[in-house]
Amino acid sequence: MRSDTQRLIKLFGTAAIAAILAACADTSGGRDLRVGASDKTSAVTTVNRYLWTASLETIDFMPIAMVDPVAGVVTTDWFASQQAPDERFRVNVLVLDTALRADALRVNVFKQVRVGGQWSDASSNPNTAREIENAILTRARELRLNAVG
C-alpha cells in the first residue's frame, strides 16, 4: 500500500513539473532576437543581437577589457591614438533591451589627459558618445536588413 502511495506522488509530481514547463514554452512562433538564440552552444541573453554585434564591430579598434552578453555590457580598455598620445578614452556600451531602438542603447565615454606624466580625468565631448551610439544604431539596422533579406 505504501509503495502505491509513493508511486502516485511521483506520478503527480512529474505531471505537475511537466505542466509548469509546458506553460513556460513559447508557442507564439515569433522570431527570437536575443543574442545566441539561434546558436545552441551559447548562452541566451536578453539583448538585441543586432545592437550587440554592431556594438562590438563599431568599437573593435579599441582594446576590449570586458564583455558580458548576459548583461549587455561591453567595456573597452583605455585607448590613445597616435595623433593625440596625451589623451586617452575608454568606452562603455550598454545594450538594455531586445528591441532595435535608440533607447535600448547607452554609450558612456570617459577621457583622461596626461599632464606631467600623470593621467587625470577630463570631461569628454558629449557629442562623442552620441556619435558612437548613432554609428552602432546605423550598423545594427544594416545587419537587420541584411538578415531579413
Domain boundaries, the chain: 49-148
Choice between 13 and 140, residue whose per-residue pLDDT is larger: 140
pLDDT at 39 over 90: no
Q: Quote the pTM value.
A: 0.69
Mean pLDDT of 76-89: 96
Q: What is the residue type of 90?
A: R
Strands (E), 14-68: 64-68
Q: 49-148 has which CATH code? A: 3.30.530
Q: What is the pLDDT of residues 51-76, one digit of tens each?
A: 999 999 999 999 999 999 989 999 99
Choice between 37 and 109, residue whose per-residue pLDDT is larger: 109
pLDDT recorded at residue 9: 58
What does pLDDT average to over the chain?
81
Helices and strands (DSSP H and E) totals, the chain: 3, 5
**Given 3-state DSSP classes, what are the helix, strand and coil percentages for the chain, each rounded to the nearest 5?**
40, 25, 35
pLDDT-derived band at 41 (thresholds 50, 70, 90) equals very low
pLDDT at 33 over 60: no
pLDDT recorded at residue 25: 47
Share of the chain above pLDDT 90, in %: 65
Choice between 16 and 48, residue whose per-residue pLDDT is larger: 48
Angle between helices 49-58 and 126-148 (to 10 degrees): 130
pLDDT recorded at residue 29: 47
